[in-house]
Amino acid sequence: MKYEKLSQALDGIDDKYLLEAADIPAVANKKYTFVKWGAAAAACAVALSGGTFALYSALSGGTGVQYEEDSPALGVVDSSTALGEESKGVEECDSDRHSQVVDSSTALGEESKIEIVEVSSAEDVGEFDSVLVDEEGYDTAQQLIDASDSVIKAKVTGISFALYDPESGLPTDNVYNTGYTESTAFQSKNDLYTLYDLDVTADFKGDNAEHLIFKVYGGYNSEKYLDGQRKLYDNDTGPIPVYVDFPKLQTGEEYLFFLKLSDKETTPAIYDIVNVCQSVYDGDISEINSIDDVKELF
């Protein structure tokens, strides 16, 4: 074994450090408070052409998740705080985020103009936990296109759910349950993913089949799909995580997608989103017929 002595030396690491690293569940189960939720939501939801295609390039601060504790975090936001205290003073609007239009100037720091109230429907109460991600976005269309394996227009034909092992990234049907138990609930769960079936109607980049699937971490915030999600992610496991900034896609509707290949060995191939905020454009795409049209979106 290479570095045998290093291994032996590592074995001499003090118990207190091993315990500190092993004892994360107790720390990580604490609730977190997201600060400046409004600013982040606005920064992540700049309207373009009537859609909610998010431009993270507009982020100039206030986008991180801050926590009550100086502790490791899972990025799960205490939804009661995010939707309650932090959103006070925000004008009430339709809970369907796709109908909202935000002046792009608000994303640059004018918090008072923000008109987004996200995940505020009754469906959220108790069942879903809002998740925000602190990720870099792409500044230009070319960067986003370059980061994508597939740029397509496609119709959503089905929505389903699956559990994936967080370590291997594989569906749990095919992998060993790595031994997480209730006592390590912070990461004992396999990750719930929402799978979207797509029929490709036009492709602008990539070698795309007519039918493909892409997956998004977390559930789908809707009573309609709650039972299906709860079969995999039962009540004991806790609220179902849902990305705040990922659009609520509807079956039968057509969108523009920026995807990267996850598993080409499956049939159909499975894709991931490029990032949470920029992978789906849900504005008017009727005029988008070429990659140049895609570039015009920015």
Partner 1 sequence: MKDSEIIGLFFDRSERAVSCLDKQYGGIFRKLAYSLLSNKEDADECVNDAYLGVWNTVPPKRPEPLVPYVCRIVRNIAVDKIRRSSAHKRGGLNISLEELGDNIFSSNKVEDELDTKELSIALNGFLSTLDKDDRILFVRRYWYCDSVKAVAKLLGITANNASVRLSRLRNDLKEYLKQKGVEV
Interaction site with partner 1 (CB under 8 A): 1-15, 17-24, 28, 65, 70-75, 134-135, 166-167, 169, 176, 178-181, 183-184, 186-188
Residue closer to partner 1 by CB (options 120, 190) is 190
Residue closer to partner 1 by CB (options 84, 169) is 169
Which residues, in sequence order, are CB contacts of 173 under 8 Å at separation 6+?
Answer: none
Least CB distance from residue 276 to partner 1, whole Å?
12
Least CB distance from residue 231 to partner 1, whole Å?
23
Rounded to whole angstroms, how far apart are CA atoms 210 and 13?
54
Cβ atoms of residues 22 and 252 within 8 Å: no
- Distance set, CA 130 to CA 38, 84, 257 (Å): 13, 12, 22
- Dihedral, 134, 138, 120, 63 alpha carbons, nearest 10: 40
Residue closer to partner 1 by CB (options 190, 229) is 190
Least CB distance from residue 73 to partner 1, whole Å?
4
Least CB distance from residue 13 to partner 1, whole Å?
6
SS3 86: coil
Residue closer to partner 1 by CB (options 185, 200) is 185
> Helices (DSSP H) in the chain: which residue ranges?
4-10, 15-22, 24-28, 37-43, 79-80, 141-147, 185-188, 226-232, 291-296
Residue closer to partner 1 by CB (options 17, 89) is 17
Q: Which of 44, 47, 48 shows the shortest CA–CA distance to 287?
A: 48
Handedness of CA 274, 256, 225, 127 (dihedral sign): positive
Residue closer to partner 1 by CB (options 186, 298) is 186
Rounded to whole angstroms, how far apart are CA atoms 97 and 104?
15
Residue closer to partner 1 by CB (options 99, 176) is 176
Residue closer to partner 1 by CB (options 21, 125) is 21
Least CB distance from residue 257 to partner 1, whole Å?
22
Helices (H), strands (E): how many in the chain?
9, 8
Least CB distance from residue 215 to partner 1, whole Å?
16
Least CB distance from residue 66 to partner 1, whole Å?
12
SS3 97: helix
Least CB distance from residue 171 to partner 1, whole Å?
16
Q: What is the largest CA-CA distance in the chain?
A: 64
